[in-house]
Amino acid sequence: MKQRIESNAYSKPLSFSTTMRNPNRIASFINCLLPYENKILTNDIIMEIVEKIIGNKLYRPLYVGRTLNIKNVFDSDDVELTKAQINEIIVNSPQNHKEAGFDKGWPSRFDTWFKLPMEFGFICYEMNKPIQITNVGHMLIDAINEKPINEYKIQNIFLNSMIKYQIPNPFRKNANKNNPLLLLLNVIKLLKEDVTQNDAGIFKQELSLFICWKNNNAEELYKYIVDLRKQKGFNYSDEFIFDKCLDLLGVTERPQIRFKISQICGEAVDEYIRKMRTTGIISLRGNGRFLDYNSFEKEKIDYIINNYGKLVEFADKSDYLKYVGEIDNKILEFKETESNIQDDVKLKKLNELAETYNEDTIIKELIILTDRKTESKDKLFRYIPAPTRLEFLTSIVLKQKLKNVEILPNYSVDDEGLPTFTASGNKSDIVCKNLEMDSLVEVTLMCGAKDQVHNEIIPIARHLAEYIKQNAKSTFSIFIAPVIHEDTKNSAEWIGMKNNVLIIPYNIVEFLEKLKGVSELAEFSKVI
C-alpha cells in the first residue's frame, strides 16, 4: 500500500467538518443512503437522497425559517413534510456551493454532508460509481437503531475510526502526516511520565499545536510543549499560539489570509475536542481547560497505544476504506465497567458543579436545550452532546434546589465524573431519594407526541411499577421534555390510573418554574 501525496499539497490545520458534529447525526445521514446502497451515484440519485434528508428534517435550509407554514411543519415532530413542501424547499434553496468532482448546487452539498463519514470509513461514494456502506457503517446504523440506542457500542465504532484515521489520506490533501488520536495519546503519555508536568494533561490552547503539527513524532511535540510551558506557563494568548502555528505550517507572510486565528484557535479546536471525546477514552479536566486520558478506559488505551500509531500507506481510496471500514474486534470486546469508584466520582462532580455554578447559569443552559438552533457557549457543557447534557443539567439543578434529597443520576461518566453518554435503557435517568418517598426522573429531547407516549410514558409506567414493587416505598415519576403534548399528558394520566402510579409531565420551562417553589419531593407529587 503506497499513498501518493500530490505535488500541490501543503501544510494545513486539521479541521473536522462541523456539518456532522455528533454520532447520531452521522448515523441518521448514512441511514438515508441505505435504499441506494450499490446503486450508481448520479445527480438524479443525489436529488432523491436530498429529498429524503430534507424529508427527515436532517438539513434545514434558510428558506425553512423564512416560510412560516413550512417552518411550523419542520419544527413539529408529529407532522411530516409533504412531497410538495420538500420540493418547494429544494427549489427555493439553491446551494451556492461547489466541490471538486460534483456539480455546483445540491450535488456539491451532498458531498459536503458525506465527506467526513467517508473519511471515517463508514461509506464510499464517487460520481458514476456504486454507493457503498462499509461494515462499520452498517454497525453504526444498527447501534443507533437498537432500543435503547447502544451508546457504548457507538463510542467503540468511532474509536475504531479514530485510531485508524490519519492525515493525509486519499480524501484529504495535506503535507502534514500524523494520526491525530494516537499523537494526542502518546503526547499525554509522555507528559504523564514527566514528573515536572504534574500530570496536567494537554492545555486547551495547546491543542492548536496538534491541529497544525507536521509529523507523527510525539516525542518532538512533547518537548515543544514543555519548552513553551517553561516560557509562558499556561498563560498563552491566542495570538502567541497562532504565531507558533503559522510557523509550524510554514507560513512566511503575515497576515496570511488562508488561515485565520478564529479557525486555528477556535472552531478547529472545539471540533477536535468533540471528535476526540466521541471515542470515550478522553476526559476533560479543569472544567474543560485540559484534555487527558479517561483512566476508566486504561486497558483500552494501552491496547491502542501498543497496536496503533504507525502511519499506513494507501494505494488509493479503496485501499484506505478497506482498512478504516473494518472493525477491530478487540475494540468491541471491551465492555463498559461499572463500579463504586465510578459512582463516587460521578456524585463528587455533581456536588462540585452544583456548588460552583450559579443556579441562573444552569437554568439558562436548560433553556438553551428547548431551542434546537441555539448552542451552549459554556466552556464545559458545550462539549457534552445535548441528550446527555439534559440529564446532566437536570441532575445539577435538582441538586441545587432540593437540599434534603439524594440525587442519583445514571448517566455514564469518565474519570472526571463528566457524562459520556445517557443512562442505559434499563435504568431511570435520575433517582431522587429522601426519607418520605422517592422519585424517578426521566428526561428526553424528543418532542413528538408519538415518541413521547410510546418511547417514554409507557416504559416509565412499567419501570415505576417495578421500582415500587421492589422497594415498597412511595414513589412517583417526573417526565421532562422541551415540549409536552396534550396526548402525552392524557396518556400519563390514563396509564398512571391503569397501573396505579403517578407520572407528572413537565416541559422544561414548567419544570424550572415549579422548582422555584418546592424544596421537597412531596411537593412535586401533589401536582398532577
pLDDT in tens, 324-355: 999 999 998 888 777 788 999 999 999 999 99
H or E stretch including 50?
Answer: helix 43-55
Concatenated DSSP letters of 180-208: HHHHHHHHHHHHHH-GGGTT--EEGGGHH
Residues 41-54: tens digit of each pLDDT:
999 999 999 999 99
Beta carbons of 172 and 154 less than 8 angstroms apart: no
- pLDDT score at 9: 65
- pLDDT score at 35: 95
The CA distance from 174 to 250, in Å, is 13
Q: Which domains does the chain have, with CATH numbers?
A: 23-164 (no CATH), 180-310 (1.10.10), 340-525 (3.40.91.50)
The CA distance from 441 to 438, in Å, is 10
Output the furthest CA–CA distance in the chain (Å, rounded).
74
**Low-confidence residues of the chain, pLDDT below 50?**
1-7, 527-528
Query: Taking the complete model, does pTM exceed 0.85, yes or no?
Result: yes
Beta carbons of 177 and 11 less than 8 angstroms apart: no
H or E stretch including 477?
Answer: strand 475-481
SS3 251: coil
Concatenated DSSP letters of 512-523: HHHHTT-SSHHH
